[in-house]
């Protein structure tokens, strides 16, 4: 059995490490991601080492062991299934569900999660386009480009939004850049820091490059 705090740390290490067991996560970055002091994060990581969930290299960072990754993927699966259920079944806005899922992922039983997953039709992605790990820990891999770097003139579909801050998600929704939306890259102005895109049949819109960098797209066939 693991505590909710342990689960939160392992999930965050997995995400901050680029979804890999091999990449070291600097302790300062982990502390900021967990909203704790570096000393608190270091104490927790040493506890995780004793439980063989992570490997810790002083002055370098922390990485997950296979044991830790298994728990991290289980928690990601729970979190993302719950997010989608809140959107699809309870009609909650996609900007609200991340915080709710942070709490519910520790409370929902495996049986209830299975029923949610079945009800949703065994989905592969959550409302933000993040892949939902399978029960055996497999994560779908897609060839995605950042919107601010995508080929000019190319046709794409929004695949994933990497920033889940509520204010950012509300802005993306207003721009019409929800996952699944088809678009064409009209132009890019590196000097002004903008990308001009045509969304569906609407008039072209101008998107700040710093916003476009957090929107991932997939080439349309």
Q: How far is CA 17 from the centre of its chain?
A: 12
Q: How far is CA 159 from the centre of its chain?
A: 12
Which domains, from first to last, does the chain contain? 4-64 (1.10.10.10), 75-140 (1.10.10.10), 145-219 (2.30.30.90)
pLDDT tens for the chain, 221 residues long, are: 689 999 999 999 999 987 766 789 999 999 999 999 999 999 999 999 999 999 999 989 999 999 999 999 999 999 999 999 999 999 999 999 999 999 999 999 999 999 999 999 999 999 999 999 999 999 988 999 999 999 999 999 999 999 999 999 999 999 999 999 999 999 999 999 999 999 988 889 999 999 999 999 999 87
> pLDDT at position 20, please?
67
Q: List C-alpha distances in Å: 9 to 27, 110, 151.
A: 12, 20, 37
Q: What are phi and psi of 116, to 5 degrees?
A: -60, -50
3-state secondary structure the chain: CCCHHHHHHHHHHHHHCCCCCCCCECHHHHHHHHCCCHHHHHHHHHHHHHCCCEEEECCCEEEECHHHHHHHHHHHHHHHHHHHHHHHCCCCCCCCHHHHHHHHHHHCCHHHHHHHHHHCCCCCECCCCCECCCCCCCCCCCCCEEHHHCCCCCEEEEEEECCCCHHHHHHHHHHCCCCCCEEEEEEEECCCCEEEEEECCCCCEEEEHHHHCCEEEEECC
pTM: 0.91
- d(CA 136, CA 148) in angstroms, rounded, equals 34
């Amino acid at each position: 059995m693991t505590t909710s705090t342990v689960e939160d740390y392992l999930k965050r290490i997995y995400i901050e490490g680029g979804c890999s067991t091999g990449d070291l996560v600097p302790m300062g970055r982990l502390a900021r991601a967990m909203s704790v002091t570096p000393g608190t994060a270091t104490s927790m990581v040493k506890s995780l080492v004793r439980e063989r969930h992570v490997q810790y290299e002083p002055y370098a960072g922390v990485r997950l062991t296979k044991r830790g990754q298994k728990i991290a993927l289980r928690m990601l699966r729970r979190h993302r299934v719950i997010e989608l259920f809140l959107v699809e079944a309870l009609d909650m806005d996609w900007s609200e569900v991340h915080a709710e899922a942070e709490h519910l992922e520790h409370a929902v039983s495996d049986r209830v999660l299975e029923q949610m997953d079945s009800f949703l039709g065994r989905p592969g992605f959550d409302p933000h386009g993040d892949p939902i790990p399978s029960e055996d820990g497999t994560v779908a891999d897609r060839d995605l480009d950042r919107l601010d770097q995508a080929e000019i003139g190319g046709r794409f579909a929004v695949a994933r939004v990497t920033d889940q801050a509520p204010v950012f998600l509300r802005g993306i929704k207003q721009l019409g850049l929800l996952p699944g939306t088809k678009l064409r890259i009209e132009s890019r102005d590196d000097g002004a820091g903008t990308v001009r895109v045509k969304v569906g049949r609407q008039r072209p819109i101008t998107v700040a490059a710093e916003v476009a960098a957090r929107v991932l797209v997939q080439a349309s066939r």
